[in-house]
Amino acid sequence: MEKVNKESVEATSTSATCDDGTCGEMLAKGLSVPRVKELRESMEKLGCVTPKRFFACRPCENESIIAGFVYDGENKVVLCSDNIEKFNIKQEHVDRTLIHELIHAYDHCRAEMDWKNCLHIACSEIRAANLSGDCNMKAEFNRGNFGFKRQGEECVKRRAELSLTAHPQCKDIAKKAIETVLDSCMSDTAPFLFR
């Protein structure tokens, strides 16, 4: 994330780098979603702006992902244009995904996260699953998960563990890492006042 002064924020924080296709159109719409705007504004207040190339659409060539927060060197949120089109991903899913990835970016900004530390990653994954809408009733119903008792928390744990296992250094300890930080990270709703 770039640390810049307030004058730079206005000039750089609204543009996106994207292709001229479905992904680019969905990204443009997603950037106007209130939670996306709130996350970006909160990051700017912390001194981390989302410069014009912070958001990008590009082929990912990995069918298991729709997007990711790239944090090594070129901090940005990347939407996978090939998978969005191939799997006919809807706008609502793209919006949730943008929020999810921006929560990682927000955590990176506010906490100077160590992306090699499985507990740090676990906490960010828990927060992203909890705050993005990944585990709302409609999303869970569409996945075939119909439980009502503690369904939200179970979804957060399941999705955070799934994401954590994608990190090679965390694969064998994902479940334990999630359990270790679950309560404190579930209660951390920053920058949102409530869920």
* Positions marked catalytic: 101
Q: Residue 56 belongs to what H/E stretch?
A: strand 55-58
Report the distance separating Cα 177 and Cα 25, nearest Å: 37
CA 149 to chain centre: 26
The answer to whether the beta carbons of residues 131 and 105 sit under 8 Å apart is: no
Contact 106, 83 (CB under 8 A): no
Which region holds residue 180: left if phi is over 0, alpha if psi is between -120 and 50, else beta?
A: alpha
H-helix or E-strand spanning residue 3:
strand 2-3
Hunting for tokens 């209660």 — which residue is that?
Answer: 187
CA distances from 21 to 48, 62, 65, 80 (A): 28, 19, 18, 12
Distance CA 65, CA 73 (A): 21
